Structure 1
Amino acid sequence: MPAIPGAVNVAVFAPGHATLDVHFQDASGAWQRVELKAFTDGVHHGTVKGLDAGSRYAFWPHGQALPASGQLLLDPYGRAIDDDGGVLRSVYVTGGFDWGDDSRPHVPWRDTVVYECHVKGQTMLHPEIPEELRGTYAGLAHPVMVDYLLELGITTLELLPVHYHLDEPHLQDLGLANYWGYNTLGFFALWPGYATAAAQAAGPRAVQDEFRAMVKKLHSVGIEVLLDVVYNHTAEGGKDQDTYSFRGLADHVYYRHDGHGNYLDTTGCGNTMNFNEPRVIQLALDSLRYWVEEFHIDGFRFDLAVSLGRDGQNHFNPRHPFLVAVGADSVLSGAKLVSEPWDVGDGGWQTGHFPPGWTDWNDNFRDTVRDFWLADQAAAASGGQGGTVARLASCLAGSTELFVGSGRTALASLNFVAAHDGFTLADLTSYLRKHNEANGEENRDGHDHNRSYNHGVEGHTGDSRILDARERTARNLMATLLLSLGVPMICAGDEIGRSQQGNNNAYCQDNALAWTNWQLDEREHRMFDVTRRLIRIRRSFLAHQPYNYPAREESSYLLWFNADGEPMTPEDWNDPDSRMVQLLMGSPQGVIDGLVVINGGRQPQKIVMPDPRSLQEFGKHRGEKIPFELLYTTSHVDDQRRGAKIRSGEKDIVGANAISIYRLT
């Protein structure tokens, strides 16, 4: 169809309606209505004059009385959403952006260190960022924050949802807001509340440009930007909630239903998007491409990703058309694809089962590491016994047994100890129970089984002995995360001991409880220094390995030794009293990255450095004694020995509940 001067093409999928009108505000501010008379394959379309850039618009069935609320149907492809006193409208946004020489950093998975953060919470309390920029996209791109991320060693930011979202009705009744934003209404629209007041006043185009400028700035220093995206459900909730868009346009297409016409909910949010419908797959793919092409986004973390791969029988299928299409799409080629590999439906736990090209959040890593350093320690303190070191060793090795069945390696394991959902790392060491009273649900919400340990006192204490023990445990958790094969993810603020005062479900706390506090005490400064040092050690350990390391068993090499420096035996692994192991990391090409020694026991442990005869397997070391240098130990007292030289076959000591790290000299 030839272009008509001053007109735009308008199209919307709504197969169940005989005809639709588009209502829009023209340049004078008056509202106009145009019937979309053409209808092709379920799409109503037509050319409309007077719908200019910046115009607000929405849809409604032709000839049907307008709703008393004034809420018409939003465009599922709308590039912005405007809130006019509680009545929402789509906004027509046009224009380009000067990207200059911007290019995606393409950080290899081997080198990736993910930092999961909230746009607002990251800078809202930062005293060195100008007040008008705090809590905004521009604030995240401020030199103070960029320099901080670089100094820490972060390669990749994973942003909690930035799509337009709504607050759930029960939160509105409580006077609370959905701070995390996992309740998307517009898959193409940015959340304007994270833009500066100046950008919001200037309109949606300025909000978009502020976001683009943030991405461009982060790219300029080599930092990637991933978006946490929520395609599994929409903010329309259950059928008893308000209709804004999808339900009014094509309820039977967009949402899953059971045989009785009820919503089939595997998300726990009232509805589930139906990814067995081609139009839903198209919508998600078009959205993903939009963020890559128009905003230069480097990848995505898919919330409750199992719901995106459920087939017509509601079973997860790693060959589901959507998962295949994402992997085959030319625009998305090279984008990082991260799954949250579970939902709340039957068979909802699928960690390790996503297809090649995807990396999975590894909850098995999270639970095992917490068990070893927290729950086991709590059991021992009360006269019980913790588990053996064998499960932790599997995590250090990249949980390869979880991913081999899907044809993937340890690089498919996104390791984490804490994330936005749950206790912070500091709170894991300070609370046995959740404290979510501020959420208004009488502490019923949030996880009850956190595998945490308060070290003897619940919450705040001035007891330096307990604080020292908590600090050591936090260092052990961070060290295990950053020294394991796979891809580490740090939850924002864990590197400085951020606390939410025991709230393990701060999704509705848009306040100082959930924001990062940058007024640091000595212990918090020390935690930052430890995290930064561990990231540098990780980088140095991997520096001489190929970028696909560890891609195959023959390309990586892990040797395990007991306290006597002898290779671990089945008896050693199964010994209930043994919580000690030495891990020599390297490759059969003769590269030895370093030695990590774990002592999960309550007493210091004497060790013999690995037997030099075993090191012959690395190719270049033929039985001679190899000098090791102590790089770091999580035992604060023993760390004063940093730099000490110990040869293979000689003795050293590792503190109680501590990790020591050595390198070859």
Structure 2
Amino acid sequence: MKNIVFTSQTMYRHPLDLNTGLLNITSNFDQQYATDERLGVIYSPEMTIFRLWAPAASKIELILFYTLYGDEAEHIMMEEVRPGTYEVEVTGNLDNKAYKFGIFYPDGTYIDTCDPYAFATTSNGARSVIVDLISTNPENWGARMPAFSATTDAIIYEANVRDFTISETSGAQNRGKFLGFIEQGTKSPNGLATGLDYLKELGITHVQLMPMYDFQTVDEENQTAKYNWGYDPQNYNVPEGSFATDARDPKTRIREMKQMIQGLHDAGIRVIMDVVYNHVYDTDTHPFEKVAPGYYFRRYSDGSLSDGTGVGNDTASENEMMKRYILDSVKYWAQEYHIDGFRFDLMGIHDIDTMNAVRETLDKIDPSIIILGEGWNLNTNLPEEKKAASINARQMLRIAHFNDAMRTAIKGSDMDGGFDTGFISGKPFMEQWIAINQQGGLYYPQDIAGYQQPDQIVQYVEAHDNHTLYDKLVINMPHDDERTRTRRHLLASSLAILAQGIPFIHAGQEFLRTKNGEENSYNLPDAINKMDWSRRDTKQKEVEYLKGLINLRKSNPLFRLQTTDEIAKHMEVLEADYYKIVWQLENDTDLFYVFFNGNGDPRYFKIEESDFEVLVHDCKVNIAQPRMWLDTDEIKVEGFSTTVLHKKK
């Protein structure tokens, strides 16, 4: 704490370094101070228990406000019930009352803070709020959805709550809100389905929502003044108020987020929550640093903050109470909000033990909850062998990693301003590498990533970060006409969607979403980030193509095998050179040939058998009857396209 000036050399028994104002984290610190007691508020209509872990404090008071936004408050001293853990019980029904904690440090310095474990807040996270969570449940709020079939059956669609409906072209009334996301009957300018109806038509199984916990840099009372994706955490266990119809009412944001999840579940769509436990927006003002300065954030021996995240701080998941915070938080979201999966931002910052503990914790609730994350190997102050990075994936079974290796091979690197090219844009010698990646962990080079099973690999070509695929193609191939650019785009999507593993689609990818060439739009206005549903009108053929690929994948388990043993048995790569990739899928009843042509002109392939039905050809999918049949032993695969043949055995 930079504002603490210690005047006394008396340590009491509090482990503060009087020179730095940081806790002295010794090897036995967690053994001495960590607690497994439930933290935060434990509410009942008769009484509420307040419990805070704050090992830096000499004493703590509860500040209980008379009204949500007024200044008058009652100050109640808390008792240190075990080293570093403070508690007080207050009788009466405190539902919807605001509170904070006042912390006294050993030298008499005083600072107040919100509750890091808070489930509700006032506007802009200024105060924590006690809530009767039962009162926030929507009508007919029931149990979790039944367990999902298998992780490789998932088709994930990444969207942003605000972006999804903020444009007038969405046809939504509650634009940019939780409730807007689930409005039914909304139409594009040309009268086509948008919003929830559109997602149902598309056939995805999971929607992955970018940060929807309480983030810091959007004013919840002036929601259109400033844009941010939300990777700037403030209150991890509280829904974001700018997505609610009334940010000043603590219960509204909770109820409306639950309504959104309920609406998606009713539509058969599961919800993956994007969580950002790897850093906070501002360490000095965050409750983590106020209650335990120097503990929750990873530091070097000189006290400086580790910065593998690139935003100034890395949380120390290897410390027991940070690990426990993550576990408590995902458990809360899964149980209270019925969340079906968690996407860990910069997962490589965390340690392997913590991520495995997340898997174990969620398995007790529902083993089909999906865990995926960015397994980048980041420069954080943690030994390489402990990082939850893709290189160590063999130690994190049933946790998926974004497969940037195939993404880069398909379209080129995103790390050079978008100028690198890939298979779809003319870069040579990418064929074999893509084919290896499409095999979902089978034969995967363990010195690159430790994937063991297809449920550890997220296959994608575009996400919210970096240029959209369309914008990258504009940069890479500026002389292409729109037809050629579109064909390259559709080829890229098919390479990912038909691969073994977990397919992932960025919202609007199916209608060639553009952000006007902007590479990093995290704080750019709605005009750049919005989903332009009029583009869904003009790119209807492209939408139908991706919809068809999704239906094809869902139609036969050969496209979504669950183990590498199954892949070895049923999938064989036949050719991978000269901008061509060919493989077959086969079991006792079905035979598929899959051809990817990265050349601009057609390629011809001989096949030993005839009487195949043509399911995908020339940027069209036809898996409905009547189908086109191939009655020769030669197939023509058009330039920049995918062809899929099928035969019943």
Q: Select the residue among 253, 265, 285 that pairs with 2:307.
A: 265
Q: Deviations over 1:86-110 (max 9, x none)?
A: x811111213125544432533223
Q: Is the 8 A contact 2:327 2:357 kept in 1?
A: no
For structure 2, the 5+ residue unaligned runs are 1-36, 186-194, 414-418
Q: Counterpart of 2:590?
A: 592
Aligned residue identity for 2:262 = K
Residue 278 of structure 2 corresponds to residue 212 of structure 1: no
Residue 572 of structure 2 corresponds to residue 559 of structure 1: yes
Q: How does 1:184-583 map to 2 (within 5 A)?
A: 184-197=233-246, 200=247, 203-237=249-283, 242-309=284-351, 318=352, 320-324=353-357, 326-328=359-361, 330-331=364-365, 333-342=367-376, 344-345=378-379, 350-351=389-390, 353-354=392-393, 355-371=396-412, 375-376=421-422, 380=426, 386-402=428-444, 406=450, 408-430=452-474, 432=475, 453-456=476-479, 466-520=481-535, 523-542=538-557, 549-553=562-566, 556-562=569-575, 573=576, 578-583=578-583
Distance 2:145 2:570 in 1: 32
Distance 1:654 1:292 in 2: 46
Distance 1:3 1:368 in 2: 53
Distance 1:647 1:289 in 2: 56
Cα drift, residue 61 of structure 1: 2.0
Q: Counterpart of 2:132?
A: 94
Distance 1:646 1:654 in 2: 12
SS at match of 1:490: strand
For structure 1, the 5+ residue unaligned runs are 170-174, 310-317, 433-452, 457-464, 563-572, 612-624
Residue 221 of structure 2 corresponds to residue 149 of structure 1: no
Q: Select the residue among 93, 96, 104 that pairs with 1:54.
A: 96
Cα drift, residue 218 of structure 1: 1.2
Q: Is the 8 A contact 2:579 2:597 kept in 1?
A: yes
Cα drift, residue 637 of structure 1: 13
Distance 2:524 2:541 in 1: 27
Distance 2:513 2:360 in 1: 36
Q: Counterpart of 2:19?
A: none
Cα drift, residue 541 of structure 1: 3.2
Cα drift, residue 635 of structure 1: 5.0
Cα drift, residue 644 of structure 1: 3.8
Cα drift, residue 298 of structure 1: 0.6
Cα drift, residue 62 of structure 1: 4.0
Distance 2:47 2:539 in 1: 58
The number of equivalent residue pairs is: 571
Cα drift, residue 522 of structure 1: 5.8
Residue 144 of structure 2 corresponds to residue 103 of structure 1: yes
SS at match of 1:559: strand
Q: Is the 8 A contact 2:347 2:373 kept in 1?
A: yes
Residue 68 of structure 2 corresponds to residue 22 of structure 1: no
Q: Counterpart of 1:461?
A: none
Q: Is the 8 A contact 1:584 1:594 kept in 2?
A: yes
Distance 2:322 2:635 in 1: 60
Q: Is the 8 A contact 1:233 1:272 kept in 2?
A: yes
Q: Select the residue among 196, 203, 212 that pairs with 1:162.
A: 212
Aligned residue identity for 2:81 = F
Q: Is the 8 A contact 2:606 2:634 kept in 1?
A: yes
Cα drift, residue 535 of structure 1: 0.9
Q: Counterpart of 1:314?
A: none
Aligned residue identity for 2:232 = N
Mean Cα displacement is larger for which, 25-34 or 362-371? Answer: 25-34
Cα drift, residue 323 of structure 1: 2.3
SS at match of 1:427: helix
Q: Deviations over 1:170-208 (max 9, x none)?
A: xxxxx98461101111111111111124xx35x121211
Q: 1:652 to 1:135 in 2, by over 3 A?
A: same
SS at match of 2:349: helix
Aligned residue identity for 1:58 = K
Aligned residue identity for 1:357 = R
Q: 1:125 to 1:58 in 2, by over 3 A?
A: same
Q: Select the residue among 607, 616, 619 that pairs with 1:632.
A: 616
Q: 1:37 to 1:523 in 2, by over 3 A?
A: same
Distance 1:50 1:403 in 2: 61
TM-score, scaled to structure 2: 0.81
Q: Is the 8 A contact 2:441 2:564 kept in 1?
A: no
Residue 639 of structure 2 corresponds to residue 656 of structure 1: yes
SS at match of 2:128: strand
Q: Is the 8 A contact 1:256 1:273 kept in 2?
A: yes
Q: Deviations over 1:9-58 (max 9, x none)?
A: 11111111110111121259522211113331311111235782222211
Q: Is the 8 A contact 1:136 1:196 kept in 2?
A: yes
Q: Deviations over 1:225-269 (max 9, x none)?
A: 0101011111224xxxx4231111102221112111111222112
Distance 1:422 1:399 in 2: 26
Q: Percent identity?
A: 22
Cα drift, residue 220 of structure 1: 1.7
Distance 1:637 1:415 in 2: 20
Q: 1:367 to 1:128 in 2, by over 3 A?
A: closer
Q: Is the 8 A contact 1:633 1:660 kept in 2?
A: yes
TM-score, scaled to structure 1: 0.79
Aligned residue identity for 2:506 = C
Cα drift, residue 647 of structure 1: 4.5
Aligned residue identity for 2:214 = Y
SS at match of 1:428: helix
SS at match of 1:72: strand
Cα drift, residue 164 of structure 1: 0.9
Q: Counterpart of 2:26?
A: none
Q: Deviations over 1:390-429 (max 9, x none)?
A: 1121132224334878573122111110000011122122
Distance 2:254 2:273 in 1: 15
SS at match of 1:252: coil
Distance 1:194 1:159 in 2: 12
Q: 1:454 to 1:258 in 2, by over 3 A?
A: same
Q: Deviations over 1:562-604 (max 9, x none)?
A: 5xxxxxxxxxx5x6xx2223211123xx133522112222332
Cα drift, residue 352 of structure 1: 5.2
Cα drift, residue 66 of structure 1: 8.6
Q: Is the 8 A contact 1:340 1:361 kept in 2?
A: yes
Q: Deviations over 1:83-142 (max 9, x none)?
A: 37xx811111213125544432533223210000001101111545443x1111111111
Q: Is the 8 A contact 1:584 1:592 kept in 2?
A: no
Q: Is the 8 A contact 1:80 1:188 kept in 2?
A: yes
Q: 1:403 to 1:191 in 2, by over 3 A?
A: farther
Q: Is the 8 A contact 2:206 2:269 kept in 1?
A: yes
Q: 1:327 to 1:349 in 2, by over 3 A?
A: closer
Q: 1:403 to 1:301 in 2, by over 3 A?
A: farther
RMSD: 3.3
